[in-house]
Chain A
Amino acid sequence: DVQMTQSPATLSASVGDRVTIICRVSQSIDNLLAWYQQKPGRPPKLLIYKASSLESGVPSRFSGSGSGTEFTLTITSLQPDDFATYYCQQYHGYPYTFGQGTKLEVK
């Protein structure tokens, strides 16, 4: 199975900050990686697919990069609505696997 290592587990930041979350993968998955945002009591929401493609309706301050085994999610100019938990997920092969999650909290 493809193992996902997401870091950091918790990230403290302020409105206006630029933050980066890293997802490392145990084997090459080309660009078949997605990023999701989840708020308490809500299902996850797709932000980024194919490592760097922005899902329709997602603000342009979200961006993804990487290929192979290392990927990043960057949020520029954090907004109050962005404080949530973020997950990476590979869909290169089954079983699909998720990162452990990064909780983005207010500093």
Chain B
Amino acid sequence: EMQLVESGGGLVQPGGSLRLSCIASGFIFSDSEMNWVRQAPGKGLEWLSHISRSRSSIYYADSVKGRFTVSRDNAKKSLYLQMDNLRPEDTALYFCVREAGLGDDALDIWGQGTMVIVSS
């Protein structure tokens, strides 16, 4: 079964940092382009970041550019999101998501998400 499992969420004060992790199984992680997407409580989906297979292409949403850093370790089948200078508006469920590949970039595998709460 193809699966993504996120971890690392929690309660953090404004201005603080968190590092989210995502471990992949059931597919060839090193062949997959990966993304982070978040969803604030009761709100819609917001794409945050993309990293290519070889880490050569990285993109961010303007809302997190300069504060969040995406990375990956293909040997460990893991995706990361380093989140610095967190703000209350970053409170959300964070999903690790795979792009389908094979000529299509739709988001076909989603983790269950890890919750981040930014509050004093």
Contact = CB atoms under 8 A, between A and B. Distances in A.
Secondary structure of the B side of the interface? strand
Interface string A73-107: 00000000000000101010011111111000000
Given A43-B111, A94-B59, A95-B59, A34 B106 contact: yes
Contacts of A32: 105
Interface in A1-37: 32, 34, 36
Contacts of A94: 50, 59
Interface in A47-61: 49-50, 55
Contacts of A87: 44-45
A43 B60 CA distance: 21
Interface string B99-117: 1100011111011110000
A96 B50 contact: yes
Nearest to B47: A96
B29 interface: no
Nearest to A94: B59
Given A44-B110, A94-B50, A96-B35, A50 B104 contact: yes
Contacts, number: 57
A91 B62 CA distance: 16
B50 A98 contact: no
B62 to A, nearest CB: 7
Interface residues of A, number: 22
Residue from the set B59, B100, B106 with the largest chain A CB neighbour count within 10 Å: B106
Contact of B112 (A38, A43, A95, A98): A43
B45 A89 contact: yes
Contacts of A95: 47, 59-62
Nearest to B44: A101
Given A44-B45, A49-B100, A98-B46, A91 B112 contact: no
Contact of B107 (A50, A89, A99): A89
Interface of B: 35, 44-47, 50, 59-62, 95, 99-100, 104-108, 110-113
5 nearest A-B pairs in the assembled complex, by CB-CB distance: A49-B106, A43-B110, A96-B47, A94-B59, A34-B106
